[in-house]
Chains A and B, each alone.
Chain A
Amino acid sequence: MWFVKNMITRKNLMALTGLFLAFFLIIHLLGNLQLLLPDEVAREQYNWYSHLLAGNIVIEIIAIVLYACILLHLADAIYLTIRGRKVSGNYRLDKRARASTWYSRNMMFLGAVIFAFLVIHFKDFWYQYKFGTLPLDEKGHKDLYTLVVTAFGQLWYVIVYIIAIIALGYHMLHGVFSAHRTLGLYHPVYNRIVRTAGVVFSVAMTFGYAVIPIVIYIKQPL
């Protein structure tokens, strides 16, 4: 019972859910990159892809796991952060920050930004797609493409989106290697590899996700 309750196990849970979410980002990005195809192809392709995902039982299960991961990751983070705050010292003059990166110390804050974004993201796209009334395209699929392009036509929306993506990038910059450490990767060589891979991954994801709204915003007819 102890094993389940204690902090290393909780950190393991953070690590595993975090890594799963990071992995999901790859799939999600691959899907989204279809938005960058020429307009008409993109519309058809993207709507077909969305339709494919929406109707698949396997995807449904993965989606449930995904939602669970998000909630567990969040709940655990809140628990650990509160406990950490409670037991740590409160200095009148505090320069402890010099010894670590700002994003590694502010994972909860970055996570909160990402979560706030997720709420908007779900409300605008996922909710609309699932429960909203969307027009159909020529193939009879729901026209998510238009919804996305319209959303990214607004500058403020693009800015919010990019801020969130940058927060996500920093979150993963620390999160990916930290998760491996938590899970027990102790060899210095593999640590260097994972750390480098983590940086490459985070930068690639940030760039990939950021480039989509920018391109769409620039491409839109004035």
Chain B
Amino acid sequence: MSRILEVRIPDGPLPEKWSNYKAKARLVSPNNRKKLDVIVVGTGLAGASAAASLAEMGYNVKSFCFQDSPRRAHSVAAQGGVNASKNYRNDGDNVFRFFYDTIKGGDFRSREANVYRLAECSASLIDQAVAQGVPFAREYGGYLRNRSFGGVQVSRTFYARGQTGQQLLLGAYQALMRQVSAKKVTLYARHEMLDLVVIDGRARGIIARNLDTGQTERHAAHAVVLATGGFGKIYYLSTLAMGCNASAIWRAHKKGAFMANPSWTQIHPTCLPQSGAYQSKLTLMSESLRNDGRIWVPLQHDDTRAPGAIPEEERDYYLERKYPSFGNLAPRDIASRAAKEQIDAGKGVGPLKNAVYLDFSKAIGEYGKSTITERYGNLFTMYKKITGIDAYREPMKISPAAHFSMGGLWVDYDLMTSVPGLFAIGEANFSDHGANRLGANSLLQACVDGYFVLPYTLQNYLADEIRTPRFDPDSTPFIEVERAVKAQLQQFTDCRGSKTADEFHRELGRELYDKCGLLRSGEGLRNAIRNIRELREAFRHDLLVPGHTDEVNSELEKAGRVADYMEIAELMCIDALHREESCGAHFREEYQTAEGEARRDDERFCYSAAWQWTGNPSEPVLHKEPLVFETITPTVRSYK
């Protein structure tokens, strides 16, 4: 193993690693904790739960979010549910099976020890959320209810109607606000982190911009935690919120934190298709719909009949046909790719021929409309609001859209990045999902990182810091970084070019979706890299941002985010190009089986690719973290 990438996995057999870690982790005594400051950037499930938990322990926490309230972080939009191996259904679920499902779902490209810990802590999360008052679905007897989700054969998904993310996030948000009122957390809403301050090789603070006043601020701490989520918004059209961005992790990357597997982006199969050039986002419809909905396309090409007019024998239920044992519940990457195949073959439906049908008529016939309403009512209402179509009468039209970044900042077992004192949790890191994330695992990972892992591992780090005095945010290192940040902001407003940040972003997104999306090829990626460089050059000279830096200026905010996307996009392509295999969401056209399934190459690519910034976005340095499977043997991932 490379000396640079020290993973620091604890000793012992897999099931005992986390217990061993906790048994030996160093502690900070309660009276010392109040001397230590921690910055947590992001207030989604990971950020809010971490900030709240750390504050409860007694640390001084500064919590940052760019939204106007912590409650708006995009975890709020997760619909389907959260997995936990409680085995309430007595269907053979256990920690190992959950661990195995997650590893397999990730196409054997994740770290065993981290995934096992995720599975192990899952049960406690449900306990925690219930204690916070999260109203999970219940059976009539009062006990918790489960449902099944894509990629697994047990029912381990807990849910709160179609708003599980909202309810879990509000639980974490309330825990956070409780600490705000206890004065253990200082909240900085409408603040965007614009750089990381590293002193003597350790993360010591951040530069943030107050979006209400435009002023930059310097904040110091003993450790910095990034919980800033994923960067699927780089594709412009995605299921993410408009403000989701990669700036925090990318600027940390430029200060020394490695980015791992940046090209692994999950394309979600059940989103609403694009309807026009003005489109700003693609709304996600929960994957849980696939429990009762059947996906099909017409057998004929360019079939323009209304769905109801197409007889049963002229429909192709392609998922049921190709993957009989999982059918409509095949994992996301497979379902997305299958949909793209059908659409590319000219069988797409809808005005732009960019969608497939998701049909509930059979389920409504079997269970009745009221059952379907109870299960998915809010999703049907949402569908009607957006499209104007009643999905009880005709099938929904869905299409794949960028959704989740499996890649992110490289972290060790402690969730610490390659910069000491800088931690990354939740979607911002790369650790648990391998090359593809299973449905309902993302809420889980965010919560487990924040509630159950970071409080131990961060404390383990802080144990060394009790003698470090508070840093002065007015000292030179802070002022220098702030100066650089201000210079960049000024450069955006001074540029006075002719194209808006959104125009650049759309162009970049299209390029990336075409060549570094569902299907990738060597030629396409090389082509994309050239185009991205040109686009980045154009962005430097031709950007148009009206207004000034010292006021509310959303165009300026966008410009900063797009500037970072311009660099990440290239790294994504480089990463995708170097990995000459197909695994999970990363599907290289050159590397597929005769049946068109992903062909992994465990000989050459059984590692996580961690990229180091060199100052030139075109020349990152690759470090390999080999993936060692001690407990399981990677197999061909088959859902047939």
A and B in contact, CB less than 8 Å: no
